Amino acid sequence: MNAYFLFDLGMASIFFLTGLLFYISNGKAANLLTGYNMKSFEERKKFDENKMCKDYGKRIMFWAILFLIGSGIDIKFTCYGFIFACISWSVMFILFMIERAKRER
């Protein structure tokens, strides 16, 4: 096994577990979201924390799939899976941040 495979597998595990914890938190993980924890109590009433945590959890678990695919590629082609996973995740993360900025306006 190579280091790229293990890194991709480790990242997939971290993303999956983090996403799962957000998904099953029943809204209690909302305080961990950047910006949300700084809103006043009145502003927080406007949000469905349970739905928000489930949405974030699904998205984070989807990111784990990118690294699983990358680890599969790394078995046959060393380093290419790592590059695929990192670039794919970066694009998905940037798109997520753009979407979040539009939603918070």
What percentage of residues in the chain have a pLDDT greater than 70? 99
Q: Which structural domain, as residue segments, surrounds residue 23?
A: 3-103
- CB crowding 45-78: b at 16 or more within 10 Å, else e: eeeebeebbbebbebbbebbebbbbbbbbbeeee
Is residue 74 within 8 A of residue 8, CB to CB? The reply is yes
Q: What would the pLDDT profile of 61-86 be if each residue is shown by its tens digit?
A: 999 999 999 999 999 999 999 999 99
Task: Tell me: pLDDT of 32 over 90.
Answer: no
Looking at the structure of the chain, the number of domains it has is: 1
pLDDT of residue 43: 85
* Per-residue pLDDT tens over the stretch 3-21: 999 999 999 999 999 999 9
Indicate whether 35 pLDDT > 90: no
